[in-house]
């Protein structure tokens, strides 16, 4: 993840990692439920909405949100149902799969304030992700799963403490950080 102008987050290593994980994991879940519905929080350029579609999820079962209106309008133009929402604020209903590649970097005074929305997860970096996992349980269907990205640059999250079984289903070692994708299931 690197600092950006405040338009739409363009795919980086984190985006490619989670989109590849989704393309590997979603078909396995679809085998048991052809009608599964998918929610992505923080859609950015739409890379993961496209991964969900490519994996076989029906377009009408895909919903995307972002706090950034430009990202929402961009993904609506790609043909996806999307709404502007701060995490789950404007989300209704429950989902089989919820994905989030969150802003996860710790606050850095050198970063322009405008671009922090795409990159900064809070003082320690993990605050927004913790808020997400605390709220996500209310929007998961029974046996639903969450896919979420973390970075070794932000404070580690004890998923167990928040009531989830966590499995690392993908990772990438960069020279300065390790990115992980976690599959979370409510205990
Ligand atoms: C790291 S980017 C990921 C974008 C895209 N999913 C990808 O993988 O390339 C994080 C995205 O989350 C959005 N975001 C940040 N805070 C948010 C919030 N509170 N609620 C919803 N989206 C948020 C940002 O606008 C940005 O598009």
Q: Is the CB of 67 under 6 A from ligand 1?
A: yes
Find the 79 Cα to ligand 1 centroid distance in Å. Answer: 19
Task: Tell me, yes or no, whether 5 lies in a domain.
Answer: no
Task: Tell me, yes or no, whether 6 lies in a domain.
Answer: no
Task: Tell me, yes or no, whether 27 lies in a domain.
Answer: yes
Number of domains in the chain: 1
In this structure, what CATH number is given to the domain that contains residue 49?
3.40.50.150
Task: Tell me, yes or no, whether 3 lies in a domain.
Answer: no
Task: Tell me, yes or no, whether 161 lies in a domain.
Answer: yes
Could you list the residue range(s) of the whole structural domain that residue 26 is in? 13-186
Task: Tell me, yes or no, whether 67 lies in a domain.
Answer: yes
Q: Collect all residues with Cβ–Cβ distance below 8 Å to 20 and sequence separation of at least 6.
A: 51, 170
Predicted TM-score (pTM) of the model is 0.95
Residue 1's pLDDT is what?
55
Residue 122's pLDDT is what?
83
Task: Tell me, yes or no, whether 89 lies in a domain.
Answer: yes
Measured from the CA of 40, which atom of ligand 1 is nearest? 6
- Write out the chain's pLDDT in tens, 187 residues: 544 445 899 999 999 999 999 999 999 999 999 999 999 999 999 999 999 999 999 999 999 999 999 999 999 999 999 999 999 999 999 999 999 999 987 888 888 777 777 788 888 889 999 999 999 999 999 999 999 999 999 999 999 999 999 999 999 999 899 999 999 999 9
């Amino acid at each position: 993840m690197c600092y950006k102008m405040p338009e739409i987050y363009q795919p980086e290593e984190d985006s490619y990692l989670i989109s590849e994980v989704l393309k590997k994991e979603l078909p396995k879940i679809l085998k048991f439920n052809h009608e599964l519905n998918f929610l992505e929080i923080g859609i950015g350029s739409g890379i993961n909405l496209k991964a969900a579609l490519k994996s076989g999820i029906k377009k009408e079962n895909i919903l995307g949100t972002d706090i950034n209106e430009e990202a929402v309008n961009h993904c609506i133009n790609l043909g996806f149902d999307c709404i502007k929402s701060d995490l789950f604020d404007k989300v209704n209903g429950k989902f089989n799969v919820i994905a989030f590649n969150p802003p996860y970097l710790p606050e850095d005074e050198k970063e322009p304030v405008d671009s922090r929305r795409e990159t900064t997860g809070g003082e320690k970096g993990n605050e927004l992700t913790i808020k997400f996992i605390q709220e996500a349980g209310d929007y998961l269907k029974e046996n639903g799963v969450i896919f979420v990205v973390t970075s070794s640059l932000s404070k580690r999250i004890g998923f167990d403490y928040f009531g989830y079984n966590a499995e690392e289903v993908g990772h990438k070692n960069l020279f300065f950080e390790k990115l992980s994708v976690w599959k979370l299931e409510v205990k």
